[in-house]
Amino acid sequence: MSNATDRAATGVADYADAVARFRLADFDRLFAGSLETGLNVCVACCDRHVAGGGIALEWEGQDGRRATFTFAEMKDQSARVANLLAAQGVRPGDVVAGMLPRTPELLATILGTWRAGAVYQPLFTAFGPKAIEHRLKMSAAKLVVTDNANRAKLDDVAGCPAVAVVTRPGESVRPGDLDVRAETAAASATFAPVLRKADDLFLMMSTSGTTGLPKGVPVPLKALPAFYSYLRDAVGLRPEDKFWNIADPGWAYGLYYAVTGPLLLGHATTFYEGPFTAESTYSIIKRHGITNLAGAPTAYRLLIAAGPEAAAGVKGQLRAVSSAGEPLNPEVIRWFAEHLAAPIFDHYGQTELGMVVNNHHRLRHVVHPGSAGMPMPGFRVAVLDDESRELGPNVPGVLAVDLNNSPLMWFSGYWQQETPAIAGGYYRTGDTVELEPDGSISFVGRADDVITSSGYRIGPFDVESALIEHPAVIEAAVIGKPDPERTEIVKAYVVLAKDVQGNEQLAEDLRQYVKKRLSAHAYPREIEFLEQLPKTPSGKLQRFVLRKRETSPDKDAAA
Ligand SMILES: CC(=O)SCCNC(=O)CCNC(=O)[C@H](O)C(C)(C)COP(=O)(O)OP(=O)(O)OC[C@H]1O[C@@H](n2cnc3c(N)ncnc32)[C@H](O)[C@@H]1OP(=O)(O)O
């Protein structure tokens, strides 16, 4: 526990009261600087907590080694990284990309980037060269910080910027690469934090759409109050909690809420470097004394699949559990109550928004199983019809943020792209929902072809583009197929080149091809070979026909 954890994070409050009392100006006091006149994100997340003497990071490696890092140690490391970046010509506003597992060096890289006034861009370690290349080109990153396990992927990235490598004991770096360990050891532990303002960027994210490659989501400093609020009000983080967000900081939920949010509150975060298994997850909850847990429903469903015996060792230990990335099934809620004695609450958000509709752990309001909850204080949301008219209860429509009445809203458009989702005073999320009579929001489905699998948002176009680069493939269509464990799995329908025979060996080759080139998490788990794909007379792919085919009891008749 950090002594510096903000007192504001304690105690239960009334939801309606929190909405009525919301004031954006209150956050300046918390961040040791003003969004209007200048603050530094590393100071807000780290330096200002040094005096409290608390822990910033509890880390466990794949080999079971454990270490803790204080805010003072992370401040020191952030300054060394900032000096390294400045020596490489990184200036305030430049982008630094990080492709690292959940290590202390990842946290130092993020904090150091912010200390230098630069913008951190996450690259998920499961990405292949195609996904990396697109993102680096989009952001014009000046430097990529990675490790030797991921270094080779950059060889196939056209226009790759300079590379800095974090070595493990006994490793060296290639000629021409920067040795982060050696450089930071030699660098000064002093670096004056660069002040930035509300509209300056500190993160460059990406998100997948339906029709094109992933879009850049620029995150300005004015998102900090929203990230802080989520940890305080929805996750309900208390000073005495031991907090673990399982999500990888290569994605929004992990970067916003396993890194930025807890550190803003002066609270320690937990990184476990190893791959997800139910066994390792229960073991970490037990050994680290975790009391407040966050993650995606797929992770929770995998915990459930391990059975009640596996859960018995931590029953009663979790005070609050938060779920994000895909809707939470009522069955998971019941199981967690029975076998873990833990309240698990559903939260809704997007990379473009952060979390905005939540069943709050700290704020008192009615919680319905199957509902995403109430708008977080600082956001007003509405359910819209096709003409952007606000709909009343129990009518499905698109969830939208009311831009003129949402002081916490920070997203103002995709990076260097048109953003038709922002129009007429609303941001339309693309998710279909229903308003309940008490003001809570229930999720109905996605209004477009974006796939939600294991909490990841996957663009079908991205996977289709990777598939058609394979010499055996002429055309491909990709949809989300309902799946009890992962919500949806990626399913590809493939039209093969003349004289190529579709069989299981080729399907496996295609799976591996997409895994290596695009990403280890976004490959088609199921592949079906077709003679032709359903299209409109003008030649536009009709993915909905394929989706219907998947859910129809008589698949072939529906095709
Ligand atoms: C605001 C927002 O909502 S942002 C989005 C929030 N969503 C998230 O953060 C995603 C949440 N999901 C997860 O964390 C994970 O899917 C979990 C923990 C639920 C389940 O983890 P896993 O069972 O390992 O599956 P995951 O979907 O991550 O991995 C898929 C594949 O990619 C591989 N993979 C994952 N990460 C990596 C990596 N870093 N390097 C190489 N391969 C990887 C896995 O081994 C797996 O391969 P397999 O299908 O051959 O077994």
Query: Can you give the residue ranges of every domain in the chain?
Result: 13-435, 451-551
Distance CA(130)–CA(559), nearest Å, equals 32
Distance CA(142)–CA(139), nearest Å, equals 9
Which of 399, 401, 454 for a ligand 1 pocket mutation test, highest count of atoms within 8 Å of Cβ? 454
Closest Cα to atom 21 of ligand 1: 276
* pTM, to two decimals: 0.93
CATH class of 451-551: alpha beta
- At 550 the pLDDT is 86
Nearest atom in ligand 1 to 325's CA:
3
Identify the CA nearest to 332 among candidates 107, 487, 113, 153: 487
- At 10 the pLDDT is 62
- At 493 the pLDDT is 97
- H-helix or E-strand spanning residue 224: helix 224-229
Which of 99, 516, 521, 527 for a ligand 1 pocket mutation test, highest count of atoms within 8 Å of Cβ? 521
Distance CA(92)–CA(117), nearest Å, equals 4
- At 39 the pLDDT is 95
Please name the amino acid found at residue 512.
Answer: Q
What's the CA-to-centroid distance between 451 and ligand 1, angstroms? Answer: 14
- At 559 the pLDDT is 40
Closest Cα to atom 43 of ligand 1: 126
Distance CA(78)–CA(105), nearest Å, equals 10
**Domain pair 13-435 / 451-551, same fold:** no
- At 7 the pLDDT is 45
Which tens digit of pLDDT belongs to each residue from 399-453? 999 999 999 999 999 999 999 999 999 999 999 999 999 999 998 877 788 899 9
Closest Cα to atom 29 of ligand 1: 521
Distance CA(396)–CA(444), nearest Å, equals 7
H-type helices in 344-503, by residue range?
460-468
| Ligand 1: lining residues by beta carbon, under 6 Å | 125-126, 246-248, 251-254, 275-276, 296, 298-299, 324-325, 349-351, 454-456, 520-521
- At 278 the pLDDT is 97
Helix %, strand %, coil % for the chain, to 5?
35, 25, 40
Which tens digit of pLDDT belongs to each residue from 460-482? 999 999 999 999 999 999 999 99
Q: Express as a percent the part of the chain with pLDDT over 70.
A: 97
Confidence band of 31 (pLDDT split at 50, 70, 90): confident
CATH classification code of 13-435 = 3.40.50.12780
Give the number of C-alpha atoms closer than 13 A to the C-alpha of residue 200, restricted to the C-beta side. Answer: 23
Nearest atom in ligand 1 to 254's CA:
9
- At 489 the pLDDT is 96
Task: Check if the beta carbon of residue 400 is closer than 8 Å to that of residue 379.
Answer: no
Mean pLDDT score of the chain, rounded to an integer? 94
- The region of weakest confidence among 129-143, 175-189, 204-218, 507-521 is 204-218
Q: Is the dihedral of CA 221, 223, 224, 225 positive or negative?
A: positive
What's the CA-to-centroid distance between 174 and ligand 1, angstroms? Answer: 29
- Span 36-50, average pLDDT: 95
- At 511 the pLDDT is 98
**Tokens standing for 509?**
């080759």
At residue 110, does pLDDT exceed 80? yes
At residue 125, does pLDDT exceed 70? yes
- At 554 the pLDDT is 60
Strand order in the sheet with 201-207: 178-179, 162-166, 143-147, 95-99, 119-122, 201-207, 215-220
At residue 5, does pLDDT exceed 60? no
- At 558 the pLDDT is 41
At residue 556, does pLDDT exceed 80? no
Confidence band of 540 (pLDDT split at 50, 70, 90): confident
**Tokens standing for 367?**
């919680």
Confidence band of 553 (pLDDT split at 50, 70, 90): low
